[in-house]
Amino acid sequence: MSDPLGLVFGALADPNRREVIGYLSQHGTATATELTGELPMTRQAVSKHLVTLADAGLVEAERQGRETRYRLTEAGGEWDDRLDALRRHFERRRD
């Protein structure tokens, strides 16, 4: 992993992955199936986004019986807060 920050920014560049992060920050954990039911993406797309987010260290998976639940890592939660603050900053500048 020669550029961990590049992996994070690459993962966060996609609006669908930001939706996944937003959902997990509000609900704590979710399975890929739950995310598919709540977000406008296919199960395959959700799975690919989760892999990218995990590779960037933003989410982690935990096997619970037959399910795999995903949650934000500490780093993922921090990025969610930072991105929200950045969004608010730009919204204030537009007004």
**pTM here?**
0.79
Going along the chain from its start, the domains and CATH numbers come out as 4-94 (1.10.10.10)
Among positive and negative, which fits the CA dihedral 74, 79, 80, 81?
Answer: positive
pLDDT in tens, 29-74: 999 999 999 999 999 999 999 999 999 999 999 999 999 999 999 8
- Note the pLDDT of residue 34: 97
CA distances from 47 to 23, 30, 43, 68, 70 (A): 14, 12, 6, 11, 11
Q: Cβ(53)–Cβ(60) under 8 Å?
A: no
Residue 82 binned pLDDT confidence (cut-offs 50, 70, 90): confident
* Closest to 69 (Cα-Cα) out of 13, 19, 7, 27: 27
